[in-house]
């Protein structure tokens, strides 16, 4: 396998498991519209932009999707943001990569404001060279745009030593847009078939395997 000096990470489902907080926040928002959903049906919405989820999967108009995001954030900003845990051994892996001289980045469709709070909460922010998150109004939420912010910092001449690590098809597609390699992790929220069909360069089964791959 190749050695990578620049590693771009997704956040949700890759570095941390936000399942409880995100699903609680979605259920809180849906309840405001008199709707209910089983938690197990909501995990697939971890990763895509929120407005897209409310419009495409729950049939909300643009106006109601904006309102749903507002309700979502009522819960998420106070409780849901902390109903989140780092994956086992992830903190140690990030520290080892940083100590080894790897340059680490984050590209997440989660708003930058929340992303920074989460990274500070887990005491891992200092490991990252640059953090690319979306805007609160929903703009800059496409993975290709988020990686695009990071690309000039890395430099196109180093793209052959750059990899995107994520758990959803959007991460793989964003990497392909910029012609950089990708690793799909199977311990997150992406479906195996979804990820396999996206054709990442690597499929990683566990954090242990990811650690061996990135540090090797």
Q: Is 10 annotated as catalytic?
A: yes
Name the active-site residue from 10, 167, 171, 181: 10
Dihedral angle sign, alpha carbons of residues 167, 173, 176, 178: negative
Rounded CA separation 57/69 (Å): 14
Among 192, 197, 161, residue whose Cα is nearest residue 8: 161
Neighbouring residues of 92: CB distance < 8 A, sequence distance ≥ 6 = none
**Would you name the residues annotated as active-site residues?**
10
């Amino acid at each position: 396998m190749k050695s990578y000096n620049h590693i771009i990470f997704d956040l949700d489902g890759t570095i941390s498991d936000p399942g409880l907080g995100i699903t609680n926040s979605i259920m809180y928002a849906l309840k405001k519209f008199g709707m209910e959903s089983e938690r197990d049906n909501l995990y697939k919405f971890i990763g895509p932009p929120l407005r897209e989820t409310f419009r495409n999967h729950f049939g909300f108009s643009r106006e109601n999707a904006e309102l749903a995001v507002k309700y979502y954030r009522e819960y998420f900003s106070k409780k849901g943001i902390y109903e989140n845990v780092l994956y086992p051994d992830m903190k140690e892996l990030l520290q080892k990569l940083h100590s080894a001289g790897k340059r680490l980045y984050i590209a997440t469709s989660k708003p930058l404001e929340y992303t920074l709070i989460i990274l500070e909460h887990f005491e891992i922010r200092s490991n990252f060279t640059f953090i690319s998150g979306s805007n609160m109004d929903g703009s800059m939420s496409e993975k290709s745009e988020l990686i695009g912010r990071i690309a000039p910092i890395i430099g196109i001449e180093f793209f052959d030593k750059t990899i995107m690590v994520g758990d959803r098809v959007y991460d793989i597609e964003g990497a392909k847009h910029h012609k950089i390699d990708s690793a799909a992790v199977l311990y997150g929220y992406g479906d195996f078939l979804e990820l396999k069909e996206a054709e990442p360069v690597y499929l990683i089964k566990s954090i242990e395997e990811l650690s061996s791959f990135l540090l090797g």
